[in-house]
């Protein structure tokens, strides 16, 4: 880590930063991340710390945590709604399967009755011919 001094030309104030260098794979260049330490006192040459503010990352973290909580609550509500819908759809599927089974049984019984009637008609026709 290095200490970097940067003078603001408009206000003629020199700010002191703590600089951390790193290599950016995306940009394929070295970059540096700076953190403000304070201002440089022009008479004494000492660093006067600036007041501590919440960093942008901590503000973002709080906002993200809040958004995540809201999102989680929304997702839980959507999940519960989906579970209810699935339960209703399963009940409907069971009802339709029962109806289908009853229809298949009814069709089978009718085919059996039809076959019996045809057999009975053949028997009557055979007796009538003789």
pTM: 0.41
Residue 53's pLDDT is what? 64
Say which residues have a Cβ less than 8 Å from residue 24's Cβ, sequence separation at least 6.
30, 31
Cβ pair 31, 24 in contact under 8 A: yes
69-126: per-residue pLDDT in tens?
A: 888 888 999 999 999 999 999 999 999 999 999 999 999 999 999 999 999 999 988 8
DSSP character string of 39-84? EE-TTT--EEEPPP---HHHHHHHHHHHHHHHHHHHHHHHHHHHHH
């Amino acid at each position: 880590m290095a200490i970097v001094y940067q003078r603001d030309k408009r206000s003629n104030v020199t700010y002191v930063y703590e600089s951390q260098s790193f290599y950016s794979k995306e940009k394929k260049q070295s970059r540096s991340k700076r953190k403000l330490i304070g201002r440089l006192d022009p008479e004494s040459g000492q660093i006067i710390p600036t007041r501590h503010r919440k960093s942008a990352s901590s503000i973002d973290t709080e906002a993200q945590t809040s958004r995540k909580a809201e999102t989680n609550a929304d997702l839980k509500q959507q999940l519960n709604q989906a579970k209810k819908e699935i339960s209703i759809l399963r009940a409907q599927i069971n009802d339709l399967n029962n109806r289908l089974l009853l229809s298949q049984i009814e069709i089978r019984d009718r085919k059996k009755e039809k076959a019996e009637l045809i057999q009975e008609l053949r028997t009557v026709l055979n007796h009538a011919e003789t």
